[in-house]
Structure 1
Amino acid sequence: MSTDGPAISNRVITVPNLLSFLRLALVPVFLVLILRGEDALALLVLVISSVTDFLDGLIARRFHQITRLGQLLDPLADRLFIFAALIGLAVRGVLPWWFLAVILGREVLLLVIGVGLANVGYGPLPVHHLGKVATFCLYYALPIIMVAQAFPATAPVADPVGWAFALWGAFLYWWAGVLYLREAVRVAKLG
């Protein structure tokens, strides 16, 4: 029995990749809607993005259309939606700027780690489950906070729940970042 994972192709034009390109195209639309305070429409765009995210993964696995490009586009779209929400909500004063700085600071750390590893001949580190949980928390925190903005009657519940996810996500984001840094140092010492 083979322990190899699914075949990964170099194809560019696949249904999952087209869905990922659609998601990327929706990021600026999402940001503009947030900046205009049209949170209900921004949430609708986010729902469409989430459905296409689910579908691209499902189709890629089911029809053996996993590609290197898709492996880059999917997490890129996730991150860009998170950053668009962070920036838009910070500009409007819904989120404090320090929260945006905390999340961006971790991304800078990962960029430095990636460049450092590339300089010693290593590719990117595998994604840690803690990083996935952190992204999950942030990916849900920001829409929940937006629900409180779009539908003020939900604010007494949505705000505390959204902030609980946001703060926990930020903590886990940094914890995962420290684990990546520790692993990068270990890998670099082996080389």
Structure 2
Amino acid sequence: MAQHQDEVEPAESPYYHRVVTVPNVVSVVRFALIVPAVLAVLDIDEQPVRALVLVALFSLTDWVDGTLARALRQRSRVGEVMDPIADRLGTVAIAVAASVVGLFPWWVLVVIAVVDVVVGIATLVRGSLGALRVTTVGKAKTALLMVGTVLVLAGPAWSSPEVTDVGRVLVQIAAVLHALAGIQYFRQALRR
């Protein structure tokens, strides 16, 4: 009896060892959006809509690549490694820019950076880069952080400080969840 591809181990998938897949192309686009998004956030006083659009696109690609990987059954080893790197690098860079311009509280940036550095070192030391499985807390953190960031940037674009305030609350909740998810990922890394 033939196995459905969802039931096949990832390494047995015909796409697992491929570099060029549709989800991986989306991840490359996400990498390409990081610098323009950061520069736009730093220039938010001059062009707030541009900052909002670029960060929203960056955030959207995180959801799109995962959805495409599942829908097209194109999960790959390159994607497993590239996706979290793009996510971490972009998230930290955008958080730095938002903190510099006064949109994020500095403690949020510190939590994100410290957790990512500790988990990153643990995954490198234990050889588990790309092998960590996303947790429910991690998914909730990512969703809240991305929605919160977009709302923080939507406030200046829409001339609505209330929207920015709602975004800040979500970003701060996400920072707490980021620390909790970091503990989970750290434990996973040590078990590998």
TM-score by length of 2: 0.80
Q: Does 1:155 align with 2:129?
A: no
Correspondence for 1:133 among 109, 119, 140:
140
Identity %: 31
Kept in 1: contact 2:104–2:168 (CA 8 A):
no
Alignment match, 2:106: 97
Is there any run of 5+ residues in structure 2 with no aligned partner, and where? none
Task: Summarize the alignment of residues 18-57 of structure 1 with structure 2, pairs less than 5 Å apart.
Answer: 18-37=25-44, 38-57=47-66
Amino acid at match of 1:70: G
Q: Does 1:174 align with 2:174?
A: no
Counterpart CA distance in 1 for 2:173 and 2:96 is: 19
Task: Summarize the alignment of residues 56-75 of structure 1 with structure 2, pairs less than 5 Å apart.
Answer: 56-75=65-84
Count of matched residue positions in the alignment of Structure 1 and Structure 2: 182
Distance 1:21 1:128, change over 3 A: same
RMSD, matched Cα = 2.5
SS in 2 for 1:178: helix
Alignment match, 2:22: 15
Kept in 2: contact 1:82–1:142 (CA 8 A):
no
SS in 2 for 1:10: coil
Amino acid at match of 1:131: G
Amino acid at match of 2:41: I
TM-score by length of 1: 0.80
Residues 124-162 of structure 1: CA deviation (Å, up to 9, x unaligned): 43222212211211111111111112222x212x13321
Residues 68-90 of structure 1: CA deviation (Å, up to 9, x unaligned): 11222223333333223211111
